[in-house]
Structures are given as structure tokens and as C-alpha cells.
Chain A
Amino acid sequence: NAGVMQNPRHLVRRRGQEARLRCSPMKGHSHVYWYRQLPEEGLKFMVYLQKENIIDESGMPKERFSAEFPKEGPSILRIQQVVRGDSAAYFCASSPRDRGRPAFFGQGTRLTVV
């Protein structure tokens, strides 16, 4: 049973380009969370999704950032017109259901904006 898979592991984008981060949850998990982590800091919640629904996007910037979790395929975190401040590690986690079950994390995507 494969764990949470994120790709790419490393992504380099020039300012103004789009970054697309993918997350495949564990088999049987229908809940996905995205977090951002700056060096030497904790994880900042961005968005919580269930299949085809955004449940909580209170941590996601209103502009340039969007997330989806379609019925088929991975969850996608999209950052449009990236800026240097978007450089960070982005982690995806999945759980089988909500109400505080332990989450399983992917290895993260390290985005560098040059």
C-alpha cells in the first residue's frame, strides 16, 4: 500500500510562471490537506479538501492560489504568477475520514522561485 505520493519532489520556477503540485493520497483516503513550511518553521495550514469539494480554504491566499481534488486523479495545488515569497516546502497529507484521525504525509514538494 503506497503512501502519500507527491510530485515533483523539487520544482524550480521563474517569477511569473505557474507552479502545479500534485498529491496522490493513500488508497482509500478521501480527505486531503495541504500545508506550507518555510525553513526552520512549522507547518501552516492552507486547505482541506474532500473529493470534488473544498471544505476549508481559510489558510490559502485569496489570489494566485487554488486547489482541487477531482473525482478521478490526484489533488492539485496551483500557484499562478509565482513570486520569490512562494518558495517553500509544500506538504500534502491524507486521512481516511475527518474528525481528527492521524494524517499521513507525503515527502513534500520543494518549490524554488528564481
Chain B
Amino acid sequence: SQQGEEDPQALSIQEGENATMNCSYKTSINNLQWYRQNSGRGLVHLILIRSNEREKHSGRLRVTLDTSKKSSSLLITASRAADTASYFCATFVRGAQKLVFGQGTRLTINP
């Protein structure tokens, strides 16, 4: 089964609102990463948070990590139509040699 599970599977909000996506995982990790995928395109790395970090910011993105609950959240503030995409969390599992992706959240920003 997948290491990471995103919630919700789909999210539709109005432009200007904040979007929050959650990710849960199962095993110990070195870090957790968030990626964005526009329809039909490759993935673009957004932000990486290490297992000893609790919160990280990058522009309008805010990521939190709770290792005790094995969960992370991605917040996009002041959403724009261009933020419409699928968002995936990926974990680099401790001891493993690969990034494992969740199923993704499909975000739609309505103008």
C-alpha cells in the first residue's frame, strides 16, 4: 500500500481563499516533500521538510509536520487560478532509497 495518503482527494475553492491539504504516512521518515503536478505534466518540487522540523514556509506555502501523528499539511494562502493542479506528498522512508508518493489531492481554484 502507499506510504502517503492525502486528504481530501479533491478540493474546490474560490480564488483568494486558503487551501489546506493533509498527508498521512506510516513509517519513520527522513523527510517529507510536497510536489505539484499540472495536468499532463511532470511533477514540480515545492517544499521539503525534515523530520526534525515542525513548520516551514515558502512564499504562499506553509507546511507543517507532526511526526508523532505521522502527518503533514500543506497550506496555500490567497489561492490563485494558477494554483489549480494536483498536489502530492512524498516521503523518503528511513533506511529506504526511494521517494514514495501518495495518491494526491486535486485542487481546483474557481475564479
User: A interface vs B, CB < 8 Å?
Assistant: 4, 33, 35, 40-45, 48, 55-56, 59, 91, 93, 98-100, 102-108
Contacts and interface: CB of A to CB of B under 8 A. Distances in A.
Interface string B94-107: 00111111111010
A45 B101 contact: yes
Given A42-B103, A100-B30, A91 B98 contact: no
A59 B3 CA distance: 13
B33 A33 contact: no
Nearest to B104: A42
A41 B96 contact: no
B31 interface: yes
B45 interface: yes
B25 interface: no
A91 B102 contact: no
Interface in B20-71: 30-31, 33, 35, 41-45, 48
Contact of B101 (A4, A42, A99, A107): A42
Contact of A45 (B31, B88, B100): B100
